[in-house]
Amino acid sequence: MKKKTILHLITTIERGGAEKQLLVLVNQQILLGFQVEVVYLKGASELQVELEKLGASVRSEIANQSFFRQIFGFHGLIHDRGKYIVHAHLPKSELLAALVCRKSQFIVTRHNTEPFWPKGPRIFSTFISLYVTFKAAGVIAISQAVSQYLLDNHEILSKNKIKVIRYGFDPKSELNLFNPPVFPLPNAEKPSSIRIGTIGRLVPQKDYPTLLNAFSELLKVDSRPLLYIIGDGFLGSELRQLCIELNIQDKVFFLGKTENVLGFLDSIDLFVLTSKYEGFGLVLLEAMSREKPIVAANNSAIPEVLGENYSGLFQTSNQRELTLKLVSTIQLETRLELKKELKDRLELFTPEKMTQNTHAYYIEKALL
C-alpha cells in the first residue's frame, strides 16, 4: 500500500522557531520514506532551499494571496483528500485547514502560549480556537505549558484532544543545515571582555527593558560585560533610546536578524532569555548545543526545557533578581557550574523521539 503524503500547512517559512522545527520534522519524515509537501501562506521563502535540499516539495501557489482566495486555492491543492495527511502550524494555517478539511481529517500543532488570534478581541480569539480544535482530529502542544494555556483559557474543549510532543533538536543535523561561519562581534577584541548575548524579536514578549536595566546595574559592579542582541522588531528605536537614557549605549549592540544563530552563540560567553512567556524556547536548545551557560526567566515552558531546579532561572521581570544572577554568572566558576547542570539535557529532546511520537499520534487519530 502506497504511503500517504504528509502535507504541512504553515503560515510562513521564514526563520522562526516553529518554522525551523518544521524543518527538523520534515527531515525525519523524509528519512522514514514519506513524501512531504510544504504549503506556506505568506512572506518570503527563506527556508525553501533547505526544505528542497531535504527532498520536500515546497508549494507556493497560494502564497501572498487574500485569505478568501487561499481557501479556494487550498481546496484545489488537496482535491485528492485520501492522499494527504494535513498537519497545520500557526493560527492562520490552522484556520485555513479547519475551513477546508473535513472534521477529524487534519492535525494542528500549537507553538505558543498566547491568544490564538492576538490582534482581535479575546472572545473572538477563543471562538476561533474552539472551532479549529473542534474540527481537528487532534492538537499537538509543544510543551506542557502550551497544553495548560489552552485549557486555562478555554481554547479547547477537552484535554483528551491534546498531546504534548516537545520539540526535537539534533546538533549534528543542525550544523549540516545551518553550518555556522565565524560571527565577529563588535568591540569584543579585549580578552577580558565578557560577552552576553540574547536572541529574539524586539517585542514586548521578550521583556528587553528588564534586561537592559539589569545590565545597567551590572556595569556598576563590573565594567567588562558587553551585551549583544540578535533580532528586529517595532521596539527597536524605543530600546535604543532606553540605552541612551541608561548611558549604556557603548556597551549594548543591536545586531539585527541573522541566519547564523549558531555562529553567534559560539561567539558569546553567556546566553540570557528574559521572555515573559515562551511556548517552548527553541533558542534554549540551540544555546545548549553550543555548551553555553544560560540565565532565563522562570515561566511557561522555560523550566520544562532547562529543568525545574536549574540554578540559572530568575523570577520573571524581576530586575533586581536578574541583576544578582548576572553578577554571579559573569564569574567563570558560576558559568562552568551552569554548563555542568545542562550537560546531557539535550538528550531529552531528540528529533527521533519527536517524530516517533508525532507519527504515533497520526496513527492514534486514524490519519496514517
**Does 204 share its domain with 341?**
yes
**Does 195 share its domain with 325?**
yes
Residue 176 counted as domain residue: no
Cβ atoms of 98 and 9 within 8 Å: the answer is no
Cβ atoms of 317 and 52 within 8 Å: the answer is no
Residue 215 counted as domain residue: yes
Residue 113 counted as domain residue: yes
DSSP conformational letter for 121: -
The SS3 call for residue 189 is: coil
**Does 156 share its domain with 251?**
no
**Does 88 share its domain with 193?**
no
Residue 3, CA atoms < 13 Å, CB-side half-sphere = 13
**Does 308 share its domain with 358?**
no
**Does 120 share its domain with 220?**
no
**Does 213 share its domain with 103?**
no
Residue 178 counted as domain residue: no
**Does 195 share its domain with 111?**
no
For cell 515562551, the residue is: 278
**Does 193 share its domain with 220?**
yes
The strand order across the sheet containing 194-199 reads 252-254, 225-230, 194-199, 270-273, 294-297, 313-314
**Does 355 share its domain with 226?**
no
Nearest in space to 166 (alpha carbons), one of 299, 303, 51 = 303
Distances (CA, A) of 50 to 15, 303, 362: 11, 31, 25
Query: Please, where are the H alpha helices in 101-226?
Result: 122-135, 144-152, 171-177, 208-221
Residue 320 counted as domain residue: yes
Q: Residue 257 belongs to what domain range?
A: 185-348
Per the structure, how many domains does the chain have?
Answer: 2
**Does 247 share its domain with 107?**
no
Residue 179 counted as domain residue: no
**Does 132 share its domain with 230?**
no
DSSP state string for 28-49: HHHHTT--EEEEE-SS--TTHH
Q: pLDDT digit of tens for each residue in the chain (368 aa)? A: 567 899 999 999 988 889 989 999 999 999 999 999 999 999 888 889 989 999 999 999 999 999 999 999 999 998 876 789 999 999 999 999 999 999 989 999 999 988 888 888 889 999 999 999 999 999 999 999 999 999 998 888 888 999 999 999 877 765 555 556 789 999 888 878 999 999 999 999 999 999 999 999 999 999 999 999 999 999 999 999 999 999 999 999 999 998 888 899 999 999 999 999 999 999 999 999 999 999 999 999 999 999 999 999 999 999 999 999 999 999 999 999 999 999 999 999 999 999 999 999 999 998 88
CATH number of the domain residue 313 falls in: 3.40.50.2000
Residue 173 counted as domain residue: no
Q: How many residues does the chain have?
A: 368
pLDDT in the model for residue 176 = 53
Residue 174 counted as domain residue: no
